[in-house]
Amino acid sequence: MKIYQIQVALKGSKPKIWRRLLVPSTVTLPELHQVIQIAMGWSNTHLYQFIKNCMFYLERMEDNDFWDEMDNVDCTDVKVSDLLKREKDKIVYEYDFGDSWEHNVILEKVLPVDSAIKYPVCLTGRMSCPPEDCGGIWGYAQMLEVLQDPKHEEYDRCKEWLGGDFDPKYFNKDEVNGWFSAILH
């Protein structure tokens, strides 16, 4: 087993919303999904898939009558090292097929295991994760525009929907690592 330093970056976000993580090379794609959910701040309430070379890696659903007609692979036992083999390899992680939050997952470094570290670990990152169900990257941009103008006709409704203040620049790696400890360790 090796340790993968990966960068997870939300596609289309400006400024870039991203996290740098350390994960074992042996984590399965469903486990990596959980790690990304926690690191980005998503609530794990939607479907997901990983995409590499026009193949779609997702959990097979019992009632999916079209599974065999599509380029789908059951991701249950697929390890991240099956898809990311060398530095700079990339996969796409898509979360919430309605809002279509696509993330680039890039293998930055392959490192030895440090027995003093409990993995996964968040090393750094930037920007807050967009709220769930805000309409994808375009809806998020529109929401941020509304929040910049207290006179905007949607301002009060947007603040109420968010449940208060929202700081798009906020990120705290110690919080993420605390969530990893509480949920995954």
Per-residue tokens: 124: 């750094």
Residue 176 tokens, joined: 């993420």
- Could you tell me what percent of the chain has a pLDDT over 70? 95
Q: Name the class of domain 3-130+168-183.
A: alpha beta
Task: Using only the alpha carbons of the chain, give its radius of gyration.
Answer: 17
- Specify the pLDDT at position 184: 84
- Residue spans per domain, the chain: 3-130+168-183
pLDDT of residue 59: 86
Give whichever of 50-59, 86-95, 163-172 has the largest mean pLDDT. Answer: 86-95
| pLDDT at site 7 | 98
pLDDT score of 65: 59
Residue-level pLDDT at 64? 61
Q: What does the alpha-carbon distance between residue 132 and residue 100 come to, in Å, rounded to a whole number?
A: 11
C-alpha to C-alpha distance for 93 and 103, rounded to whole angstroms: 5
Residue 52 — φ and ψ, nearest 5°? -150, 130
In this predicted structure, what is the pLDDT of residue 66?
62
User: Does pLDDT of 57 surpass 70?
Assistant: yes
Query: Average of pLDDT values for 58-86?
Result: 82
pLDDT digits (tens, 9 = 90+) for 29-41: 999 999 999 999 9
| Under 8 Å between Cβ of 60 and 72 | yes
User: Across all residues in the chain, what is the average pLDDT?
Assistant: 93
Q: Which residues contact 25 (CB under 8 A, 6 or more apart)?
A: 1, 2, 3, 4, 79, 80, 81, 110
User: Is it the case that residue 185 has pLDDT exceeding 80?
Assistant: no
158 Cβ contact partners less than 8 Å away, ≥ 6 residues apart: 143, 146, 147, 152
Mean pLDDT in residue range 108-136: 96
- DSSP annotation of 4 reads E
Ramachandran sector of residue 21 (left: φ over 0; alpha: ψ -120 to 50; beta: rest): beta
What is the residue type of 129? C
Which residue is it, tokens 């930037």?
A: 126
Binning pLDDT at 50, 70 and 90, where does residue 23 land?
Answer: very high
What residue type is assigned to position 121 of the chain?
A: V
Q: Residue 67 corresponds to which tokens in the numbers above?
A: 């599974």
Q: How many helices (DSSP H) and strands (DSSP E) are in the chain?
A: 5, 8
- For the segment 25-53, the average pLDDT, to the nearest whole number, is 96
User: At residue 69, does pLDDT exceed 70?
Assistant: no
Predicted pLDDT at 60: 79
